[in-house]
Amino acid sequence: MTPRENDEPPTRVLVVDDDDGIRVLLASVLSAPGRIVKSAATGVEALRLARGEEFDAILLDRLLPDVDAVQIVTALRTAAPSAAIVMLSAVDDVEARVAGLRLGADDFLTKPFHVSEVLARIDAVRRRAVPADEPDVLRYADLELDLAGHRVRRGGDIVALTPTELRLLRFLLENAERVLSRGQLLDHVWRYDFGGNGEVVEKAVSTLRRKVDAGRRPLIQTVRGFGYCLREEP
């Protein structure tokens, strides 16, 4: 039985690149049974599409002619909070990858690339958001993560998180009351070898804490000199 016969929803992909050749190639190759692909040549057009439709993945060129990378990623996160963002860049080094992830991307792909790798990256970031064969819901105190529904609640209120933030919160929930180092978080959430660079972790934890703990009793704790921990303090 094929995926369509199983009535699985199609994967919706947005391709954003001002290079006509790359944009048309990706849109053409990615278009297949089980996927719906839209494309945009500018950040403004991408935001218009993201605000009007739901996307599972966004392939985003790091350098667009009309908007700054920080602005476009931030705006896309607001317009499509559950979409996985795979950043495309012509620069290939560790600093470039770190910069892309710090901007808020879930993955990073260097040009030129093979289309099969693009497909694999899309599948990977979607799988990592909510892995299979896990409990449907993870809970700690008044915090709840619905893995199947990609939904987080704190005290009954919905908290909107990005795919990376969902993976980070999931790992903290699975290890509630255990102190996790920056290295452990890098390995299990981002799965990149950045040589122990903790800047990506610090930024992500700070953003997650702001969303999850805002106006409530803090659950995400910083254990100085060691790392981070999800626990209630007395």
Task: Break the chain into its structural domains and give their ranges.
Answer: 11-129, 137-230
pLDDT at 3: 41
3-state secondary structure the chain: CCCCCCCCCCEEEEEECCCHHHHHHHHHHHCECCEEEEEECCHHHHHHHHHHCCCCEEEEECCCCCCCHHHHHHHHHHHCCCCEEEEEECCCCHHHHHHHHHHCCCEEEECCCCHHHHHHHHHHHHHHHCCCCCCCEEEECCEEEECCCCEEEECCEEECCCHHHHHHHHHHHHCCCCCECHHHHHHHHHCCCCCCCCHHHHHHHHHHHHHHCCCCCCCEEEECCCEEEECCCC
Of residues 188 and 139, the one with the higher pLDDT is 139
Q: Is the pTM of this model over 0.85?
A: no
pLDDT at 191: 58
What is the CATH class of 11-129?
alpha beta
**How does the average pLDDT of the chain come out, rounded?**
82
Domain 137-230 has CATH 1.10.3720.10: no
Using one digit for the tens of pLDDT, what is the confidence trace for 54-105? 888 899 998 888 888 778 888 888 788 778 888 888 777 677 677 777 777 8
- The arithmetic mean of pLDDT across residues 130-141, rounded, is 70
Q: In which band, very low, low, confident or very high, does the pLDDT at 4 lie, cut at 50, 70 and 90?
A: very low
pLDDT at 6: 47
pLDDT at 150: 82
